Amino acid sequence: MDWAQVTLDHLGPAGDQSLIPDQADAARLFAVLGAAPKVHMSGEIVDRYGYVSSIPGDMTVLLVMVDNCPGPCERVFDLELRRDPGSFPEPGKLQPTPGLNAAAATKSGLRLGLTKDEVKAILGWPQHEEENVLYYGAARNASFSKEEVLARGFPEKYVRMGQYIDRFIKVTFTNGRADSIRLDHRTVWD
């Protein structure tokens, strides 16, 4: 559950911004990458915000899901970094941004272009491995302090209730190199 595994760094026009799932909301996303329309993807319940690098020759894509719930639980929970639009159903709907480029990586060093062995050196042994995919996951119950619950905008009753935290990381490879990294981290409050 190390935050370095899911904190996406080297974002923003100067490359000095980060997005942290479960801490960033849509306002933070827009401050880092700019506003974008939501894009519906077949089979997904939550629409995504889609971005593509505006740097000539750089086709890096970032797809971001924000919970649909109103109020404080409306947080970024899923970040998917792709080497290029690939099979994205509507690449024309991706918002060009100077805030995204091929240097995007997690604080721990997970980035596009790594080999399986390099990913394993960062994340450890996967829970499941396929020929071209590594899967990592973790879940735990947590109790946040009163200060953290209130700072997140939730009523004090959630201090006593406790929360469930679920994390999933999926790295997909093409020709032996990471071409997609999906970072999913969510806190369930009810």
pLDDT in tens, 152-180: 777 777 777 777 788 899 999 999 999 99
Average pLDDT over residues 69-87: 82
Phi, psi of 72 (to 5 degrees): -70, -20
E strand residue ranges, 32-132 = 38-39, 48-53, 61-66, 76-82, 95-97, 105-106, 128-130
**Which residues 6+ apart lie within 8 Å of 50 measured at CB?**
36, 39, 61, 62, 63, 64, 88, 93, 94, 95
Q: Report whether pLDDT(44) > 80.
A: no
Q: For residue 71, give its domain range.
A: 3-188
Which pLDDT tens digit goes with each residue over 98-108? 999 999 999 99
What pLDDT, on the 0 to 100 scale, is given for residue 133? 98
What pLDDT, on the 0 to 100 scale, is given for residue 153? 73
Decide if 102 contacts 56 (C-beta within 8 A): no
Q: Report whether pLDDT(71) > 70.
A: no
Chain mean pLDDT for the chain = 89
Residue identified by tokens 């000539």 is: 56
Q: How many domains does the chain have?
A: 1
**Which tokens in the block code for residue 59?**
């086709």
What pLDDT, on the 0 to 100 scale, is given for residue 79? 95
What pLDDT, on the 0 to 100 scale, is given for residue 78? 92
Could you give the C-alpha distances from 135 to 40, 56, 126, 127, in angstroms and in order? 24, 32, 6, 6
pLDDT band at 11 (very low <50, low <70, confident <90, very high): very high
